[in-house]
Amino acid sequence: MARTDRPRAGLRLMHVHAHPDDESSKGAASTAKYVSEGVDVHVATCTGGERGSVLNAKMDRPEVWENISEIRREEMHRARDILGIRQDWLGFVDSGWPEGDPKPPLPEGCFALVPLEEATERLVRLIREFRPHVLTTYDERGGYPHPDHIRCHEVSVAAYAAAGDPEQFPDAGEPWQPMKLYYHHGWSWAKTNALHEAMLAHGLESPYTERLATWEREADWDDRITTRVPCGDFFGVRDQALLAHATQIDPDGMWFAIPREIQQKVWPTEDYELVESTVESTRPEDDLFAGIPIPAP
């Protein structure tokens, strides 16, 4: 394929996620956009999602629960193919979502309890092998406070800092320093409220009424967004990738409660926070690769 058909060939992007399905629910449309432009996109999945709930009633069957690990792996492979990415497992075990008051201890050997250095080395090895220009992960709250998401944040930040340092993990490959580190910001108050208002304006029931009524808005948090990637044309690819995770995504549920046409008109971007950068770029950005030159072919 000619370079003109793949104008950004040579650029590399790595997303680090906690579980299979996270790559489809967070940043999937911008992933598909970059893939269409020739960017090589790699997803590192920290766990196998073994302790995830079955959130689609149609899949809540004994044979699904008996084979949940294999099924979730197959779902990831389907989503990977839909998005056009490559993907690797870091090989850790899902920590599960602790419930109760007080919450029970996390299962022995789970990802959230693995020593930080051990998990960081595995990700550093992948970073040095793939050599991404840009790395994305979750914010310090994990996007939401699942122990695996918080650990994913900690591991990603540590690996970003270590990957270019020859003195850290010297047996994990030749050093490589990604140029930029971003956090996902999937559901800001501004985005949620804009979609809510648009649904009401169209005479439709908003799925966010109850959530917004109890939302303690943090304006400072929304202000952290630095980068809005226009990707509305790829919301359909995102939705297909989501549906590939049939145990996690209910096709009649919240993920699809807002008509795609409204989403594309009201909030046609996916949003990120630039946290670290070795290059100059003007903020606000509309591109994760702002300031990074396209490598020579």
Contact predicate 247/79, CB 8 Å: no
Which distant-in-sequence residues (6+ apart) come within 8 Å of 135 by Cβ?
14, 15, 16, 127, 156, 159, 160, 178, 180, 181, 182
Q: d(Cα 31, Cα 41) in Å, to the nearest integer?
A: 7
Q: Is 22 annotated as a binding residue?
A: yes
- Which helix (H) or strand (E) segment holds residue 270: the answer is strand 269-277
DSSP category for residue 15: E
Q: Is 149 annotated as a binding residue?
A: yes
Which amino acid, one-letter code, is at 104? P
- Smallest CA-to-CA distance from 245 within 31, 76, 87, 84 is with 76
Q: d(Cα 8, Cα 294) in Å, to the nearest integer?
A: 6
Residue 62 sits at φ, ψ, to 5 deg, of -55, -40
Residue 277 sits at φ, ψ, to 5 deg, of -155, 140
CA distances from 104 to 56, 99, 108, 211 (A): 25, 7, 12, 27
Contact predicate 56/114, CB 8 Å: no
Quickly list DSSP for 134-195: EEEE--TT-SS--HHHHHHHHHHHHHHHHTT-TTSSTTS-S----SEEEEEE---HHHHHHH
State the binding site for Zn(2+): 19, 22, 149
Task: Give the residue numbers of the binding site.
Answer: 19, 22, 149
